[in-house]
Structure 1
Amino acid sequence: MKWDKKHYIIVILLLSLSIILCGFKFIFEKKMVGIALINNNISQLKEYKVVADKYVYYLPQNWNVEEEKFPGNVILHHNSFKNDEMDINGYIQIISTKDGRDKLIDNDKNNLKSKDINAYSMKNIKLNGKDAKKISYIEKLQNGKYYTKKVYYVTLEEGIVFKGVFNINSDKYNESLDSVYEMIMESGKYM
């Protein structure tokens, strides 16, 4: 089959349209994160450089953040956060683990056995091109309230896991918060 001018024009048009659609997808995804931030009353982010400035991540500036220290050399960094207006709380950790991310996830899952947990699910996702795990579940607290919990695990480098735990009253949870959580987790970098 011999290609004539029409075939070349069609191929070039199809390639051009594919490139344009990929560009729109990228722009659309960035806009969606911005919209999710605005919808959840987040206007600015604050940078945290931790563990001798080897790691960096960002949290919303209007969240109250408090650093906690732990003995030993497993939890290298821990920042608890909360925002009373959104009824959200949680923490960010940099964890040193010899056993790897999956063993850490198994240990965390075993710790949930004594709690009232529903709708537990684990999903493989990509954050900044890295393989990550996203755990979702709903926990009923002793006061009768239900909290939607999202836990993320990202390996920043060999033996170092960036963990984020986000808890929100289930009455106030909306799916756009997942974009906020994932934006925070994507900000975690080894420098």
Structure 2
Amino acid sequence: MNEHKQRVTIAVVLICLCTVLFFSGMLFKNQLRTVALINNNISSLKKYEAKEKYTYSLPENWSTEEENFPGNVILHHNSFKNDKVDMNGYIQIINSKGSIQDLIGQDKENLNSKDVSAYSAKDIKLNGKNAKKIGYIEKLKNGKYYTKRVYYIQLSEGIIFKGCFNINSDNYNESLDSVYETIMESGKYM
């Protein structure tokens, strides 16, 4: 009986330790994102509203330009850039009858005519939702290399939140992925 009590005690201690580690990890992850924002000279985020149904945030110091497209596929498009680090990209809200996988397939086909290397696709979780993270390096005609990250999240039925981030590969650092994911997690359906 004494041996049984020891096993139960050890099991309880291990469960408590795992619980503490889990919550510490969540706290640590949030602090890492804050540090990543600060390290990349981002002091605050500005909230944007699209079609009175969707919101998201971008760094306040990035310049933005909203564009309208004909039809009802691209519901919202906001291009952004940060000249200090040679970064640009866009946020889109897409009305899609297909899946995220279909949209990724179309986007990948468009890359066939470009000089692309190190293509990768990864399943991730953002705001508790399944998301896709695509990464690759593109060599432009001017000889510069750009590290690109594209994220896709299903906000609601038929609505995909897409973010594309391009940065000169000389200026890329891994902490930028935390910045990108913070931006993507700000996407909400109201």
Task: Give the helix-richer structure, 1 or 2.
Answer: 2
What number of residue pairs does the alignment pair up? 190
TM-score (norm 2): 0.95
Aligned to 1:17: 17
Q: Deviations over 1:157-180 (max 9, x none)?
A: 111000000000000000000010
Letter of the 2:42 partner, please give it.
I
Alignment of 1:139-150 (within 5 A): 139-150=138-149
Letter of the 1:18 partner, please give it.
C
Q: Deviations over 1:96-128 (max 9, x none)?
A: 011221111111111111111111111111111
Distance 1:9 1:74, change over 3 A: same
Alignment of 1:64-143 (within 5 A): 64-143=63-142
Letter of the 1:44 partner, please give it.
S
Aligned to 2:45: 45
Distance 1:51 1:3, change over 3 A: farther
Cα distance in 2 between the residues matched to 1:57 and 1:71: 22
Give the secondary-structure state (helix, strand or coil) at the position aligned to 2:85.
Answer: coil
C-alpha deviation, 1:3, in angstroms: 6.9
Q: Deviations over 1:53-75 (max 9, x none)?
A: x1111110000011000010000
Letter of the 2:67 partner, please give it.
E
Cα distance in 1 between the residues matched to 2:12 and 2:120: 44
For structure 2, the 5+ residue unaligned runs are none
Kindly, what percent of the aligned residue pairs are identical? 64
Question: Which has the higher mean CA deviation after the structures are superposed, 87-96 or 2-11?
Answer: 2-11
C-alpha root-mean-square deviation of aligned residues, in Å?
A: 1.4
Give the secondary-structure state (helix, strand or coil) at the position aligned to 2:57.
Answer: strand
Distance 1:157 1:8, change over 3 A: same
Give the secondary-structure state (helix, strand or coil) at the position aligned to 2:165.
Answer: strand
Cα distance in 1 between the residues matched to 2:135 and 2:47: 26
Aligned to 1:33: 33
Cα distance in 2 between the residues matched to 1:4 and 1:103: 55
Cα distance in 2 between the residues matched to 1:149 and 1:4: 55
Runs of 4 or more, structure 1, over 2 Å off, are 1-16
Aligned to 1:156: 155
Letter of the 1:23 partner, please give it.
F
